């Protein structure tokens, strides 16, 4: 039996892509593990007319951080998915491309843990900026391959 998420020679960018997608579900579970008990503990009344801000106003911010991060994983990483698939499709699969993809995934996982656990904004920003640079390099590498 082949190990989960191994990089196949034909599609080495799929493993980091699936790893980040899997990580997103881990963050979703973390979010629910804190949010569902908090709704009861802080007696949050839920109605269809409420906004997220209304629901969260009585819940301590630190219990909202995993949800904030889950939302962040729905933002820039969607560009990563598109770029990784494009790179795979056009054959940009060298060790630099794969290394950049894994670096991006690692930085996003670190960003998640930092945000959900302690949320030091400047540290989080630095990690985000590094991941953005890696994604920019991946995108540039894909664009150059098409020229």
Question: Does 1 map to a domain?
Answer: no
- 134's tokens: 């890696």
The pLDDT tens digits for 46-84 are 889 999 898 899 999 999 999 999 999 999 999 999 999
Task: Write down the pTM of the prediction.
Answer: 0.91
Range 138-147 burial, b when 16+ CB lie within 10 A, else e: bbebbeeeee
Note whether residue 9 is domain-resident: no
The two three-digit tokens of residue 87, written as one number = 């790179």
Q: Does residue 62 contact residue 83 with C-beta atoms inside 8 Å?
A: no
Question: Considering the domain boundaries, does residue 130 fall inside one?
Answer: yes
What's residue 8's pLDDT?
Answer: 58
The pLDDT of residue 1 is: 47
pLDDT at position 6: 54
Cβ neighbour number for residue 87 with a 10 Å cutoff: 24
Contact 138, 104 (CB under 8 A): yes
Say if residues 135 and 80 touch (Cβ distance below 8 Å). yes
Count: domains in the chain: 1
The two three-digit tokens of residue 66, written as one number: 């995993």
* Pairwise CA distance, residues 9 & 2, whole Å: 13
Whether 3 is covered by a domain: the verdict is: no
Weakly modelled stretches of the chain, pLDDT under 50: 1
Q: How far apart are CA 138 and CA 143, in angstroms?
A: 9
Assess contact for 141 and 98: CB atoms under 8 A. Answer: no
Distance CA 79, CA 108 (A): 13
Evaluate whether residue 2 is within a structural domain. Answer: no
Indicate whether 139 belongs to any domain: yes
Q: Which residues pair with 11 in a beta bridge?
A: 8
Which CATH number do you get for residue 125?
Answer: 1.20.120.550
């Amino acid at each position: 039996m082949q190990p989960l998420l191994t990089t196949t020679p034909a599609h080495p960018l799929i493993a980091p892509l699936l790893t980040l997608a899997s990580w997103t579900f881990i963050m979703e579970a973390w979010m629910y593990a804190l949010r569902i008990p908090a709704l009861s503990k802080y007696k949050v009344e839920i109605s269809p007319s409420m906004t997220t801000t209304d629901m969260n106003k009585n819940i301590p911010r630190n219990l909202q951080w995993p949800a904030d991060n889950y939302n962040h994983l729905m933002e820039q990483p969607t560009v990563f998915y598109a770029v990784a698939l494009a790179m795979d499709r056009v054959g940009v699969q060298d060790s630099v491309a794969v290394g950049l993809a894994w670096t991006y995934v690692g930085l996003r996982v670190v960003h998640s843990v930092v945000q959900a656990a302690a949320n030091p904004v400047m540290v989080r920003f630095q990690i985000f900026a590094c991941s953005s640079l890696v994604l920019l390099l991946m995108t540039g590498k894909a664009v150059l391959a098409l020229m």
